[in-house]
Amino acid sequence: MRVTLLGATGGIARGLRTVSIQVDDDLLIDAGTGVGDLTLGQMAAIQHVFLTHAHLDHLACLPMLADAVLDRRAGPLTVHALPETLDVLKDGIFNNRLWPDYTARPSPEAPWVALEPAAVGHPVCVGSRTVTPLPARHSVPGVGYAVEGESGSFVYSGDTTLCEPFWEAVNRLPGLRYVFLECTFRDDVSPEQALEWGHMTPRLWEKALALYQGDAEVRVIHMEPGKEEATQGQLKERLGGKAPRPVVAGEMFEV
């Protein structure tokens, strides 16, 4: 499995792109602004998009991804997400006001965008890859994802605060090579506030790593723009030699 982190931050600025993970040629996990680095040909090759939740930094490029390659695509672009996330897409984006309703064009029977409900713990097979939504705890309904290939797997947390069921699921995964785990805030945000807003802090990272029983490489993503140094400094203070390296946009992993 070839895994490319097209975007890995929680906001934009020059050189920074929000979260999107390309798996091989045909699969995307989240569709943040990192999608904008793909060529038209690469966009046309995307068949499935798995969304973690309905926040803009995770789906900003989805409407334009659908639009850019309508006439180059043989079948629909299938979007997998929780029913609550699909409702936001239908009501808030593909509503013929903010964007054309590609879920019913050119015809409701054969639309350009197909919406597929996903559920925590229910795997979806895409070719030789299996994508399983994992529990997450965010300010809106959300999931993480485990993606298993023929020779290994990786996990992406999506946006979540400390979530014990997530780590229970991660601990059961065979052949886990990488965990891409968010750290949106610093420790000036109290654990109570971070739990309410649904994000991680360095203090919560320490607790999360204590729940993890495996030896996959854990990498930090979704840091706030301009706060990367402070976030990493605090992670280092708390975790010492176990402090994670950040992912940079465009970084590629063979799994």
CB of 97 to Zn ion, least distance (A): 23
Nearer to Zn ion, 182 or 187 (CB): 182
Residue 19 C-beta: closest distance to Zn ion, Å = 6
CB contact at 8 A, 203 and 179: no
User: Which one, 10 or 152, has the nearer CB to Zn ion?
Assistant: 10
Residue 111 or 135: the one with the smaller Cβ distance to Zn ion is: 135
Q: Are 186 and 209 in contact (CB under 8 A)?
A: no
The amino acid sitting at 36 is G
Minimum CB separation from Zn ion for residue 57, in Å?
4
Q: In terms of CB distance, is 110 or 140 closer to Zn ion?
A: 140
Q: How far apart are CA 203 and CA 235, in angstroms?
A: 8
Nearer to Zn ion, 18 or 234 (CB): 18
Integer-rounded Cα Rg, in Å, for the chain is 17
Q: Which is nearest to 33 in space by CA: 7, 65, 69?
A: 7
Token pair, residue 240, equals 């010492």
In the complex, least distance from residue 55 CB atom to Zn ion, rounded to whole angstroms = 3
CB of 138 to Zn ion, least distance (A): 6
Per the structure block, which two tokens stand in for 118? 């996903």
C-beta closer to Zn ion: residue 100 or 201: 201
Query: Which residues of the chain form contacts with Zn ion (CB under 5 A)?
Result: 10, 55, 57, 159
Q: At what angle do helices 202-211 and 228-239 cross, to 10 degrees?
A: 50
> Is residue 106 reached through a cis peptide bond, with omega within 30 degrees of 0 on the bond before it?
yes
Q: What is the DSSP letter of 9?
A: B
Question: Residue 246 in 3-state DSSP?
Answer: strand
Give strand pairing partners of 144. 134
Nearer to Zn ion, 159 or 187 (CB): 159
Tell the smallest beta-carbon distance from residue 222 to Zn ion (Å): 6
Q: What is the DSSP string of 153-218?
A: EEEE--S-S--HHHHHHHHT-TTEEEEEEE----TTS-HHHHHHHT---HHHHHHHHHH--S-PEE
Q: How far is the CB of 160 from Zn ion (least distance, A)?
A: 9
